[in-house]
A and B are shown apart, each in its own frame.
Chain A
Amino acid sequence: MKHTNFLRPLAVVLGLALGVPAQADTYNITVDKVRIDTGMFKKNGIGYNGSQTPSILHFQEGEDVVIRVKNNLRESTSIHWHGLILPFQQDGVPGISFDGIKPGETFTYRFPIEQAGTYWFHSHSGFQEPDGAYGAIVISPKGGEAVPADRDYVVQFTDKHPHSGARVFRNLKASADYYNRAQRTAQDLIEDAGAEGLKAALQDRKMWGAMRMMPTDIEDVQGFTPLINGASTQQNWTGIFKPGEKVRLRLINSSATTYFDVRVPGLKMTVVQADGNDVKPVAVDELRIAVAETYDVIVQPREAKAYSIIGESAGRTAMVRGTLAPSQGMVGPIYKMRPEPLLTMADMGGMMSGMEHSGMDRAGMDMSGMDHSGMDMSGFDMSGMDHSGHDMSSMEMSGMDQSGTDTGGMDMTSGLPVVPAEGAKGAAFYAPGSGLIPTAANGGKFLGYENLAARKPLYRDRPATREIEIRLTGNMERYIWSIDGVKYEDADPIRLKYGERVRFKFVNETMMAHPMHLHGMWTIIDTGKGPYDPVKHTVSVAPGTTLYTETEVDAPGQWAFHCHLSYHMAGGMFRKVIVEGGPS
């Protein structure tokens, strides 16, 4: 039996209406070379079912699916079902779950759908995902949505670059700042000198220059055109509503490297789900969606006008607008992009401790000229720094002005802030004083992980059986990415035992945020809510922070575990996880 993607939801509705239980059903996907047109540029890319518009697979919780994937490319491919709980042989990672899908071959995936919610799928081969090989998965829950809506749309973001993924990676390796066109210039120096005095401006430059770091290293791949459901701002993806209707937006970030700050100006967004799991509804004005995350939000437009769905890149180098409107052809307003943020020394906190670990040469790192007056260092305190046991002799901080700072949450004995107390206003999962802390465009509420609480606990709460430290490491200048200083190809797998509950301690020793994704098992973020801690598949670890997650090891086999930024993953920020044992 064959269904197209369009007929599938209809069949589900009919099946439900007739009281027919969902059965094993077959879905067909072709992997094709496509010509991608963003309106800004055209390029050769990859698309599912011959289209640059991402395909949507509609499943029903409890059904058994059979998915036939035909590879029409001239190279091997694969499909990974991001966030789905399934037997590891069906997980779609070449070299870990299976051998991949050869050119011309059709591979048949078979697995039961044991969950509900918004997920997505993508190639796990080479740079096919940045080249366009991604789609959406919507799974209807058995008992209906916890928070019903009148309309239901997938809003899938990507950062479509004119260069192929392989070329982007090559260019980054040749020159890590190849795509950074937001670097500070002579003009900025003049402006900074005007604002804070020449001495302070020069000292600031000197400090960053001494580290050979850039405060603008937030988006390492710029120059892309962001798309919503395959459409650029100009192509204007539009979802239809009738005034007063509740509209469910299934936000998915399928970007290669870009975090998006998402808002619907004029409307509150009620977040009802994160990474496929229902959360206690929380109304926000804006949220940041890390690469590979999903959030379901409900908006209720009451006026018969065009509303914009705005996705603004976290580094403020690109923006996309989609529209919610009462009829096709209406266009939501475009908003001015907010100023580019700058990293602060707080975001570097992890790097300094990382240097301790790696024993790298810190000679020449002179911070004596550090002057905080020109920087936002609120909450960043080094007076509590424990120098004992560390060789800090070449790192001179004598000139630092520490007066008036406070010690909130900053534990420098490990060199890193611990997860700060709750109620830190959206900043709990950023380093105190970080330049990356987002604020809502309208000054309202910005979602943070600390605002997420599971609607119903997925697991019985119990203490973790052990803790595993995962240091996120790298060398920005060389564009090398690793875990614990070791790249995937040189690393031993992480071995877990079936039935244990592992606590992961993520320590970000780089100056970039990394969306870490464990395949096959859930990742529970420790936000201090015990059984109500949110359950996710991808967790973003901000620079200079430590974040804890727990995982119930309930899926035997071998799994991928990696940063979901395509070029970090390809560079080696990746591990194989082997779950030993299994249900008796």
Chain B
Amino acid sequence: MKTLSLGTALGVPLALSFASAAMAEVGVSPTVWSVRTDTLEYRMGAEENSFAWGVEAWIGNDELRLVWKSEGAKTEGGDFEEMNNQIRLQMPITEFFDGFIGGAASTPDGAPDRYYGTIGVTGLAPQWFEVEAALYLSNHPYLNAEVEYEGLLTNRLILTPSIEVSLPLADDPEREIAAGGASAAFGLRLSYDLIGRSVSPYIGVNYERAFGETADIRRGHGHDIEELTGVFGVNVMF
């Protein structure tokens, strides 16, 4: 089992920067920071349960932000099935979109590590869709796109559908991935802002599925190509 050392290594400098985030002086835009999760949950599946997270922390100003993103899942009492960390520099490119460039590491248990350079865009599309699209470059490149929508049932009760799709551009047999064989995750989460926007417990469902040749490889190895889980968790922002 791998340790969380990468995440820690990336997180510590950020945390130190947070501590020194300065007060506003006339003439200098204050440096600000934020930490928030979009996933911090327990997943209950047909065969096994797991814990999953998605965290984004940043520090910076209007012109430039240093962002750390971490996503992953760990089976209960078992391996880190997924472990993705990235550090990126993000800057405004249009009124509603940021461009970013950075480095990413995928270091799950039981599979070879992969390191990527990444370049992409993230922002707010018309009709309030939060979108992100990125190209991950290495010997095993892939495209990734995410769309999320916050549906306000009330000003505190929020229904959030989300879709994330990864499209491999090259074969990576050691990871049971075939070029063009996409994998996707669909989520539907109902959250309630309990304490400001700082603490928002939620329940929902998460459905992940592999397509195309990637699905064929997994089937061939006797692995599932889809997984439906019921989830409950709590998102935090501070």
Contact = CB atoms under 8 A, between A and B. Distances in A.
A246 interface: no
Contact of A560 (B25, B26, B28, B30): B26
B33 A186 contact: no
A368 interface: no
B152 A480 contact: no
Interface string A324-355: 00000000000000000000000000000000
Interface string B151-173: 11111100000000000000000
Residue among A125, A184, A570 with max Cβ neighbours from chain B (10 Å): A570
A489 B34 CA distance: 23
B24 interface: yes
A126 B24 contact: yes
A212 B96 contact: yes
B104 to A, nearest CB: 22
A223 B196 contact: yes
B140 interface: no
Contact of B27 (A126, A175, A210, A489): A489
Contacts of A94: 25-26
A488 to B, nearest CB: 6
A475 B83 CA distance: 35
B175 interface: no
A41 interface: no
A572 B62 CA distance: 10
Given A185-B154, A480-B62, A126 B25 contact: yes
Nearest to B23: A126
Contact of B95 (A124, A210, A475, A570): A475
Given A174-B34, A212-B126, A477-B95, A169 B24 contact: yes
Given A126-B25, A212-B128, A489-B29, A477 B96 contact: yes
A75 interface: yes
A96 B27 CA distance: 10
B95 A574 contact: no
A364 to B, nearest CB: 5
Contacts of B30: 166, 169-170, 570
B26 A96 contact: yes
Interface in B82-108: 92, 94-96
A478 interface: yes
Interface string A475-500: 10110100000011100000000000
A210 B127 contact: yes
Contact of B126 (A126, A364, A570): A364
Nearest to A566: B24
Contacts of A365: 126
Contacts of A175: 34, 197, 237
B128 A183 contact: no
Contacts of B95: 360-361, 475, 477
Given A489-B29, A571-B29, A360 B153 contact: no
Nearest to A187: B154
A572 B24 CA distance: 11
A95 B124 contact: no
Nearest to A189: B152
A105 B59 CA distance: 32
A43 interface: no
B200 to A, nearest CB: 12
Interface in B19-53: 21, 23-30, 32-34, 36
Nearest to B35: A174
Contacts of A126: 23-25
B127 A206 contact: yes
Contacts of A528: none
A169 B61 CA distance: 12
A488 B27 contact: yes
A148 interface: no
Interface residues of B, number: 32
Contacts of B124: 212, 477
A566 to B, nearest CB: 9
A361 B197 CA distance: 31
A189 to B, nearest CB: 9
A181 B197 CA distance: 10
B128 to A, nearest CB: 6
Residue among B29, B124, B127, B128 with max Cβ neighbours from chain A (10 Å): B29
A574 B126 contact: no
B26 A95 contact: yes
B153 A186 contact: yes
A186 B152 contact: yes
A183 B34 CA distance: 22
Contact of B25 (A125, A478, A480): A125
A178 interface: yes
Nearest to A482: B62
Contact of A185 (B21, B126, B128, B152): B152
Contact of A95 (B27, B96, B126, B127): B27
A186 B151 contact: yes
Interface in A137-196: 166, 169-171, 173-175, 178, 181-187
Contact of B94 (A183, A186, A360): A360
A198 to B, nearest CB: 17
Interface in A525-584: 560, 570-572, 574
Contacts of A560: 26
B197 A93 contact: no
A209 B62 contact: no
Contact of B152 (A171, A184, A361, A572): A184
A375 B229 CA distance: 44
A127 interface: yes
A208 to B, nearest CB: 9
Contact of A572 (B29, B34, B156): B29
B32 A173 contact: yes
A95 B26 CA distance: 7
A178 B36 CA distance: 12
Contacts of B62: 173, 478, 480, 487, 571-572
Interface string B194-222: 00110000000000000000000000000
Nearest to A175: B197
A477 B98 CA distance: 12
Nearest to B155: A181
A2 to B, nearest CB: 32
A184 B152 CA distance: 8
B59 to A, nearest CB: 10
Interface in B65-92: 92
Contacts of A364: 125-126
A475 B36 CA distance: 22
A169 B28 CA distance: 14
Interface of B: 21, 23-30, 32-34, 36, 62, 92, 94-96, 124-128, 151-156, 196-197, 237
A-B complex: 9 closest residue pairs judged by Cβ atoms: A174-B34, A209-B127, A126-B23, A185-B152, A170-B32, A570-B24, A173-B32, A360-B95, A181-B155
Interface of A: 75, 93-96, 124-127, 166, 169-171, 173-175, 178, 181-187, 206, 209-212, 223, 360-361, 364-365, 475, 477-478, 480, 487-489, 560, 570-572, 574
Given A186-B154, A210-B126, 7 more contacts: A173-B62, A175-B34, A182-B155, A186-B152, A477-B95, A487-B62, A560-B26
15 contacts: A75-B23, A94-B25, A125-B25, A166-B24, A173-B34, A184-B152, A185-B152, A212-B128, A364-B125, A477-B96, A478-B62, A478-B92, A480-B62, A560-B26, A572-B62
